[in-house]
Amino acid sequence: MKAFADFWRRYRKNRAAVAGLVLIVLITLMALFGPGLYPVDPFDMVGRPYSPPFGEFPLGTDVSGRDILAGIIRGAPVSLLIGVIASLVATVVGVLVGAIAGYYGGFIDDVLMRITEFFLTIPSFILAVVLVAIFAPSVVSITAAIATVSWPTVARLVRGEFIAQREREYVQASRALGMPDWEIIAVQILPNAVAPVIVVSTLMVATAILTESGLSFLGLGDPNHMSWGYMIGVARTALRLAWWMTAIPGLMIVIAVIAINLAGEGLNDALNPKLRER
């Protein structure tokens, strides 16, 4: 509890980070409880197409007469789910690759880093488009594609942390005691390298949400699930006729991404030992 109290004391010094955290909590609450409070199916044609906001429908309707507010509410959990799961998968893969490469070095490091660099040489968004197009657009394929293009960044970060830690006295003492490699990696080194990984993983959620939005705008979103990116993709043919169809879900994406980035910066300030005394 004392460690958490110290962390929260450092975190709340960054007012922008606290504001970002509040926004994330509000968006999460909307995703959890919004469908029950506003039980309208976002795929139902409930009104006249192109109805403007603040009329019969609070945020208007889209090109098919579907309620935009219902889409915003039902799209929140899908967008957040894709971002969080893709970030978690990318983090797990990146930590495994980076930890093994950084700890063992030599030939293993060379092979794993060449694979990592191969993924880094391909523009991430283009690779995501190709992967989703190959496996057909769905929440699973979109999440997997985003995770596939995101893990190399985590791997390089973790590798650098392990290289810096592997010759420290506590690691040498663990080896002298006969501790197995997997225990040294998971129990001794990883906890000392986890702070920057947490920060990068948090910021990766925002990048994943943006990537999903870009894929949906190109028509590669899951047609069976409503998301903010899908809403923008559907309305791209009416950009000049009905601004609200793209502006409202676009604003939600901007708010979510800015909130996550602010929260991530706060995590960096709170977890970075060089900034703790500020």
* Residue 119, C-beta contacts closer than 8 angstroms, at least 6 positions apart: 127, 148, 149, 151, 152
Contact 158, 193 (CB under 8 A): yes
Question: For the residues of 163-197, what is the DSSP string, one character each?
Answer: HHHTTSHHHHHHHHTT--HHHIIIIIIHHHHHHHH
Q: With a threshold of 0.85, does the pTM exceed it?
A: yes
Q: Which residue type, as a one-letter code, is found at position 201?
A: S
Contact 148, 127 (CB under 8 A): yes
**Res 278: pLDDT:** 47
- Dihedral sign (CA 253, 71, 212, 263): positive
Dist CA 56 CA 52 (whole Å): 9
DSSP lists the bridge partners of residue 45 as 66
**Res 86: pLDDT:** 94
Assigned CATH for 14-38+69-275: 1.10.3720.10
Q: List average pLDDT for each run of 10 residues in the chain, which is 278 residues long.
A: 77 88 93 91 88 87 90 91 93 94 91 92 91 89 93 93 88 87 88 85 89 86 86 82 88 92 84 55
Q: Where are the domains of the chain?
A: 14-38+69-275
Phi then psi for residue 45, to 5 deg, are -85, 95
Dist CA 221 CA 46 (whole Å): 23
CA-only gyration radius of the chain, Å: 22
Angle at 205 between CA 202 and CA 206, to 5 degrees: 105
Angle at 90 between CA 170 and CA 101, to 5 degrees: 40
Q: Which residue type, as a one-letter code, is found at position 150?
A: S
Dist CA 59 CA 74 (whole Å): 14
Tokens 């799209």 correspond to what residue?
Answer: 75
Task: With H, G, I as helix, E, B as strand and everything else as coil, classify residue 68.
Answer: helix
Contact 176, 241 (CB under 8 A): no
Phi then psi for residue 61, to 5 deg, are -125, 165
